[in-house]
């Protein structure tokens, strides 16, 4: 056996290695690690000026490169950007339902890309806890990193070729040429074009812009600022050595393609507030390297300084400030120059140019404190705030939870249909403002927002509802709370024993958790949220009653026959004719009792029956003019009425209320098994959850029947 194992292991390892190699592309690796001379880089710029874009232009293009779709939401034009669905990581950080906030963000970036002034502002994402502010920031960083790996998003920096001590010294025996045997990277990943002398830049920029045709915006290529102190010193030393011959100085420049990477601290930085005693501004702008002072003799020599603060290393990309308004005031002052003048002030050095998107996010309490602090007026003036509210559309909220608790993630426990839906429903209801329109309930408002048609309300009504509640979504239950309670339900003893969870189990967890919810302190809010839970339970009962009804009346042939019978009678009634009895062949008066038994199921009153019947005939006529055939499922209202009628007829034969009894005859059991199978096949239940739903709905009907009997 041992010999057999040792023989196979190399083969298995080879197979695994081949598997790894199949995912690697050496050509891509070589492209991403290209190196060349400064003059070869000028050739690249001539062919593709986009390599010299600034950080805002590059980030904006990264978003648009993923594509977008136009649609209308709440009667407003809307754009959905694929970038925010996280195509880089299989949707792990996908954002749902925040289309308007994301549109604002992209508009901000476009304005900055075109140089209209927002490039001199700090982007501040503001909203309640758990509203996806951090996720948006993470996506921006992840997206621009991914974009820099593509040919379209390629960007370049450079290194200096000098002696081992980073000195400009002549080669032995060749006093006219400096040593080039060691490489020293530009510490701030600057674009090589920053080495072009200021006097020559205008002509170079004009030539580049003549060849630059951006796809997504109207911005221009600009060469701004001066090299960082380290590169400036090296360039000065080389210019002195070569007596002003810039071309020879550039022979010491090795240009290389760079890939932005947060892990490698190249072009992407993240700063998080810590204890004030253990934090100073050098974390943003770099600090002295005391070990090198002995080598270079001065702490003001840029070679003895580490330009590795977050604002340094984020140059050319994005710098995120987590909970930015919790920063000490001294840090916020650093951000003023970084945003407005695009400069930072490293210790003992002159103002240093930076090119990066500065992004912060904060919760509402900190923002209110900022507004009330007169000392921070300058900071407020340099920020553009984008509200990131909670989601208020039910379908999008469900998608948030499906990402974590869908069938791909939860495999050993069955999540019954509507379990995530009812949790999402409650979350959305807590975020909505009570509607001011008479006759409209909060539940109906949620359905309108979700795109459902409600009689008496139009798209204009939805727009009015949105306009009258501008702060809607800025308060309510966080998705994190819902996710925590669903997680608790999944690991509960009942879930493990039954291998399934259902909506009632989750709703119970949500209600119990409110007692110790750290963000809900007042009893009035808790009372309101409990009332909304009761509302959701009632809505869930209606949903499963409808599903069971449809499962019972799912005999398509029976519905089709009932529909044909109804239409024949309606046609005869509206045209004042008689209808032929299919069995006797005799002509009879239209069966008003049959028609009313169907119409009453959708609350058509006696006084409206003529109008409704005429509407049905007009609808059939309009379909015929369009070359379409009327089917029983074509008209949603009629379809619902037919289902309910068939359910009423079937209910007496199936005796559903007998399910609550322990004794069920074989014929009834056979019919119940058919209904259960339909629930499993058509609605996503398993055997346990289908049985539970049937039992629960049976108990509802039993209660209803007992009330009617009394």
Task: Tell me the mean pLDDT per 10 residues along the chain, length 710.
Answer: 51 76 83 96 97 97 96 84 95 92 96 94 94 96 97 97 95 94 96 96 96 93 96 97 96 97 96 75 90 91 95 97 85 87 93 96 88 82 94 95 90 94 97 89 93 79 87 93 95 93 95 83 89 96 87 77 89 89 79 90 89 89 84 80 78 54 67 87 92 86 54
CA distance 475 to 477: 7
Q: Look at residues 499, 534, 549 and tell me which one is the last residue of a structural domain.
A: 549
Give the DSSP letter of residue 434.
P
What's the domain count of the chain?
2
Looking at residue 5, its pLDDT comes to 47
DSSP 229-263: HHHHHHHHHHHHHTTT-HHHHHTTEEEEEE--BTT
Looking at residue 135, its pLDDT comes to 96
Asked if residue 467 belongs to a domain, the reply is yes
Find the radius of gyration of the CA atoms of the chain.
Answer: 35
Asked if residue 507 belongs to a domain, the reply is yes
559 and 502, same structural domain? no
Q: Annotate 171-210 with b (16+ C-beta within 10 A) or e (fewer).
A: eeeeeeebbeeeebbbbbbbbbbbbbeeeeeeebbeebbe
> Which residue(s) pair with 155 in the sheet?
258
Looking at residue 519, its pLDDT comes to 76
CA distance 435 to 439: 9
Quote the Cα angle for 459-461-464, to 5°.
Answer: 115
- Contact between 364 and 130 under an 8 Å Cβ cutoff? The reply is no
Is residue 386 within a helix (H) or strand (E), and if so which, with residue range?
strand 383-387
Q: Look at residues 515, 549, 583 and tell me which one is the last residue of a structural domain.
A: 549
Asked if residue 340 belongs to a domain, the reply is no
453 and 580, same structural domain? no
Torsional class of 342: left (φ above 0), alpha (ψ -120 to 50), beta (otherwise): left
622 and 483, same structural domain? no
480 and 447, same structural domain? yes
Looking at residue 552, its pLDDT comes to 78
Looking at residue 709, its pLDDT comes to 46
In order of 141, 314, 355, 655, the CA distances from 311 in angstroms are 14, 5, 9, 73
Asked if residue 255 belongs to a domain, the reply is no
Asked if residue 144 belongs to a domain, the reply is no
Q: Annotate 12-32 with b (16+ C-beta within 10 A) or e (fewer).
A: eeeeeeeeeeeeeeeeeeeeb
Asked if residue 120 belongs to a domain, the reply is no
Looking at residue 394, its pLDDT comes to 96
559 and 429, same structural domain? no
**Residue of 536, 526, 543 lying closest to 427 (CA atoms):** 536
Looking at residue 1, its pLDDT comes to 43
CA distance 135 to 132: 5
In order of 161, 173, 228, the CA distances from 168 in angstroms are 9, 15, 18
Domain that holds residue 574: 552-709
Looking at residue 80, its pLDDT comes to 95
CA distance 521 to 523: 7
615 and 502, same structural domain? no
Q: Look at residues 527, 549, 571 and tell me which one is the last residue of a structural domain.
A: 549
Asked if residue 540 belongs to a domain, the reply is yes
638 and 594, same structural domain? yes
581 and 606, same structural domain? yes
Asked if residue 21 belongs to a domain, the reply is no
Looking at residue 660, its pLDDT comes to 47
Q: Please give the torsion angle defined by the CA atoms of residues 589, 590, 593 and 596, in that order, rounded to the nearest 10 degrees.
A: -150
Q: Annotate 597-614 with b (16+ C-beta within 10 A) or e (fewer).
A: bbbebbebeeeebeebbe
Looking at residue 662, its pLDDT comes to 54
571 and 629, same structural domain? yes
Q: Identify the burial level of 589 via C-beta atoms within 10 angstroms of its C-beta, where 0-12 means exposed, 13-18 middle and 19 or more buried.
A: exposed
439 and 413, same structural domain? yes
503 and 400, same structural domain? yes
662 and 649, same structural domain? yes
């Amino acid at each position: 056996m041992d010999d057999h194992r040792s023989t196979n292991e190399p083969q298995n390892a080879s197979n695994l290695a081949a598997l790894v190699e199949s995912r690697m592309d050496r050509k891509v690796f070589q492209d991403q690690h290209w190196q060349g001379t400064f003059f070869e880089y000028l050739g690249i710029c001539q062919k593709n000026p986009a390599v010299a874009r600034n950080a805002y232009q590059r980030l904006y293009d990264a978003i648009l490169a993923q594509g977008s779709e136009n649609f209308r939401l709440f009667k407003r034009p809307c754009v959905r950007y694929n970038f925010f669905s996280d195509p880089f990581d299989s949707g792990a950080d996908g954002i749902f339902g925040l289309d308007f906030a994301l549109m604002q963000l992209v508009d901000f970036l476009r304005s900055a890309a075109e140089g209209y002034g927002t490039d001199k502002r700090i982007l501040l994402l503001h909203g309640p806890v758990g509203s996806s502010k951090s996720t948006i920031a993470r996506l921006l960083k992840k997206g621009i990193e991914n974009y820099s790996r593509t040919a379209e998003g390629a960007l370049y920096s450079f290194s200096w070729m000098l002696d081992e001590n980073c000195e400009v010294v002549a080669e032995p025996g060749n006093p006219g040429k400096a040593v080039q045997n060691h490489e020293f990277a530009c510490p701030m990943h600057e674009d090589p074009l920053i080495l072009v002398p200021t006097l020559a830049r205008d002509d170079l920029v004009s030539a580049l812009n003549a060849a630059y045709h951006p796809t997504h915006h109207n911005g221009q290529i600009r060469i701004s600022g001066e090299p960082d102190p380290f590169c400036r010193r090296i360039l000065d030393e080389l210019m002195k050595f070569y007596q002003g011959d810039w071309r020879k100085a550039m022979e010491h420049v090795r240009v290389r393609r760079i890939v932005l990477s947060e892990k490698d601290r190249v072009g992407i930085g993240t700063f998080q507030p810590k204890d004030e005693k253990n934090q100073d501004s050098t974390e943003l702008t770099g600090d002295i390297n005391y070990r090198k002072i002995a080598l270079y003799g001065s702490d003001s020599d840029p070679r003895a300084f580490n330009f590795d603060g977050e604002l340094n290393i984020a140059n050319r990309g994005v710098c995120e400030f987590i909970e930015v308004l919790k920063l000490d005031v001294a840090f916020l002052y650093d951000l003023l120059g970084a945003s407005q003048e695009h400069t930072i002030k490293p210790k003992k050095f002159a103002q240093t140019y930076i090119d990066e998107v500065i992004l912060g996010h904060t919760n509402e309490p900190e923002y209110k404190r900022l507004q009330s602090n007169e000392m921070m007026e300058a900071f407020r003036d340099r920020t553009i705030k984008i509200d990131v509210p909670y989601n208020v559309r039910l379908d999008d909220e469900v998608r948030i939870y499906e990402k974590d608790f869908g069938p791909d993630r939860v495999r050993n426990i069955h999540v019954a249909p509507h379990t995530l839906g009812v949790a999402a429903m409650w979350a959305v209801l807590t975020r909505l403002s009570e509607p001011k329109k008479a006759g409209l309930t909060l539940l109906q408002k949620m359905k309108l927002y979700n795109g459902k048609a409600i009689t008496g309300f139009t798209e204009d009504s939805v727009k009015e509802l949105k306009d009258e509640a501008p702060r809607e979504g800025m308060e309510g239950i966080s998705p994190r709370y819902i996710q925590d309670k669903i997680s608790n339900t999944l690991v509960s003893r009942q879930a493990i024993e039954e291998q399934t969870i259902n909506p009632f189990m989750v709703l119970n967890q949500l209600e119990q958790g409110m007692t110790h919810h750290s963000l809900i302190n007042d009893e009035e809010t808790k009372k309101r949220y409990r009332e909304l839970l009761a509302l959701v339970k009632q809505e869930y009962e209606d949903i499963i009653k409808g599903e069971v009804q449809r499962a019972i009346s799912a005999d398509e042939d029976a519905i089709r026959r009932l529909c044909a019978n109804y239409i024949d009678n309606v046609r005869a009634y509206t045209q004042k004719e008689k209808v032929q009895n299919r069995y006797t062949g005799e002509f009879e008066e239209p069966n008003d009792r049959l028609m009313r038994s169907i119409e009453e199921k959708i609350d058509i009153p006696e006084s409206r029956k003529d109008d409704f019947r005429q509407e049905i005939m007009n609808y059939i006529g309009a379909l015929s003019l369009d070359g379409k055939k009327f089917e029983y499922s074509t008209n949603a209202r009629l379809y619902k009425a037919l289902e309910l009628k068939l359910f009423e007829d079937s209910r007496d034969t199936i005796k559903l209320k007998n399910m609550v009894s322990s004794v069920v005859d074989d014929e009834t059991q056979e019919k119940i098994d058919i209904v259960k199978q339909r629930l499993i096949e058509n609605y996503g239940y398993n055997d346990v959850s289908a049985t539970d739903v049937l039992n629960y709905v049976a108990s509802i009907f039993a209660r209803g029947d007992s009330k009617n009997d009394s």
